[in-house]
Amino acid sequence: MTSASRASTTSAPTTPAPATPAPLTPAIWRVGICIGLALAFAAACALIFSLETAPATLHDRAHSLLPGTPGWLIAFECAFFLLPFLTAFVLLLQTRKRTLTATGSGIAFGLFGSFLLLSPFVFLSMFLMLGLSANQTTGRADPGVSHAFLAFLALIPISAWIVWCAILNGKSQWTLFTIAACTTVVYLLVGWGQLRMNEYRVGQKQQRAAEAFSVASMKTNYDAHRALALLSGCLIEYHAAHPNAGFPASLNALPSDLQLPHGVACDPSLAHPGAASGYAFTYTPQQGPSTHTFTDFRLLAMPLKKGLPRVDPMAVDSRGRIFIYTGWSDTHPESGFAPGLVETPNDLFTSQALSLRSEIRSFMEKNGGLPPASFSNLSWRPVDSATSDPDVLHVPPYELKYVPPAPNSTRYSLSALCQSYGDACMRSFFVGPDGETHQTSEPRPATAQDPPIPDCEKFAQTCRDIDWPVPQ
């Protein structure tokens, strides 16, 4: 070979062989997981937002005595789920290290694979919630719950896509992929149990606080009710002793030595500001149309603030029937709801006079129209009510007395005398031979000359004779 040919051979450039392009499949699946994670995050946010702002959730929260889940627990729960989610997302962005992306794929597989396994139970729970939230009038489901249900349904195919992409992206590093997936599942199992334990402890603590709050509210109501009953009893007793004097112009005008039958002193300071926690008392004497004396009164116990459970306004007049405006304390009432006047306690029901009258009538039907000779002939008898007198029963706070018929007669009578006047009861009753029930609010036995009970009590109806406006 000549020198020229050797030179040309030496200097001739060598054309490199074309490089084989790297497979793009792993990158495609990695990008698919990232897109799926972004869509899953958006769907999860939509689900949580829809549930938290749903009218049904807001209604339950407004009517619950519990303060709700504390902020620190909510933050802890969010961090619990965000930790594997963000870890997987960050690792999948490390494109130069296949070991890191495989680990991220394993975490994503464990997180969303666990969700797919639990999705049937979540579906049933949300479907049940959707049905319970339906409006009873229109039959339509709560819009917030409906949107949350749609977001949950969207999460299912998104999770399935993430799981599929994670398997294809991590198959080149099966060991790391499997370790990451198993670690994520163990993390979820252990952490979920700890979350439930924390929620249980918080719920127990809130429940105890709610019970203490409820007991305090009940005590507030009881103290105000007792003060109202004592003061109204003193007013009625004073008027019974001085019928021509009328009712006093103020509570302070009551005699200082006035006492109720069982020895409790009449103390006007019970109505002074701060005497009854949470309530203020207002005494309003009512003047007759043709006289200068006060023929009636209105005594109102008004809560100082609204929102305490069962702390409602209470009112009483000379009839001795204490009424409570039930439902007034509810700060989030149902649409169309109005507080109702309810007699508390219902002295007629408490006295058992009507039950005893029904039992005597039943006895007469079975014995040819003859009434019993005494209470001992009746099968109906409250526990521990018997006394040494067969015609007397002790049913606290009442004493029931039976007057058997005279010989060759079927006309009997019975009475129910209040034994704790101005405290546990305000009225006494008398059932005459004609079957009519009479009442008195004065501290004495009722007689046939006293007025009959109102028709609303005879027929278990709302008492229309109490026309008191609802306090604001």
Smallest CA-to-CA distance from 417 within 436, 392, 435, 434 is with 392
Residue appearing with tokens 């309003």: 284
Query: Environment class of residue 392 by beta-carbon count within 10 Å: exposed (0-12), middle (13-18) or buried (19+)?
Result: middle
Query: Environment class of residue 274 by beta-carbon count within 10 Å: exposed (0-12), middle (13-18) or buried (19+)?
Result: exposed
**325-375 pLDDT, tens digit each:** 988 988 877 777 778 888 888 899 999 998 899 999 999 999 989 999 998
pLDDT above 70: percentage of residues in the chain: 91
DSSP class of 375: G
Of the candidate ranges 58-72, 170-184, 231-245, the one whose mean pLDDT is the lowest: 58-72
Smallest CA-to-CA distance from 319 within 236, 404, 376 is with 236
Contacts of the segment 138-146: beta carbons below 8 A, 24+ positions apart: 142/54, 142/55, 142/56, 143/54, 143/55, 144/50, 144/51, 144/53, 144/54, 144/55, 144/56, 144/57, 145/50, 145/51, 145/54, 145/56
Record the tokens describing residue 391, joined without a space.
């015609």
Q: How would residue 380 be classed by pLDDT, with cut points 50, 70 and 90?
A: confident
**409-456 pLDDT, tens digit each:** 889 999 999 999 998 999 999 999 888 999 999 999 999 999 999 887
| pLDDT over threshold 70, residue 98 | yes
- pLDDT at residue 124, as a whole number: 92
Q: Side-chain half-sphere of 450: how many Cα atoms within 13 Å?
A: 22
- pLDDT at residue 83, as a whole number: 93
Q: From CA 301, how far away is CA 298, in angstroms rounded?
A: 10
DSSP class of 265: B
Total residue count of the chain as it appears in this document? 472
**Average pLDDT of the chain to the nearest whole number:** 86
Question: Cβ distance 289 to 315 under 8 Å?
Answer: no
Q: How would residue 66 be classed by pLDDT, with cut points 50, 70 and 90?
A: low
Residue appearing with tokens 């058992």: 352
Instruction: Considering only residues 25 and 229, tell me which one the structure prediction assigns the higher pLDDT.
Output: 229
Where does 72-127 show beta strands of DSSP type E?
none
| pLDDT over threshold 80, residue 22 | no
Record the tokens describing residue 308, joined without a space.
């305490």
Instruction: Report in angstroms the alpha-carbon separations of 412 from 353, 357, 452.
Output: 13, 10, 17
Q: From CA 3, how far away is CA 218, in angstroms rounded?
A: 118
Question: Cβ distance 467 to 454 under 8 Å?
Answer: no
Helix, strand, coil percentages (3-state) for the chain, rounded to 5, are: 50, 15, 40
**384-422 pLDDT, tens digit each:** 888 889 999 999 999 999 999 988 888 999 999 999 999
List Cβ neighbours of 409 (8 Å cut-off, separation of 6 or more).
none
Q: From CA 308, how far away is CA 223, in angstroms rounded?
A: 15
- CB-based burial, 20-38: b 16+ in 10 Å, e otherwise: eeeeeebeebbebbbebbe
Query: Environment class of residue 166 by beta-carbon count within 10 Å: exposed (0-12), middle (13-18) or buried (19+)?
Result: buried
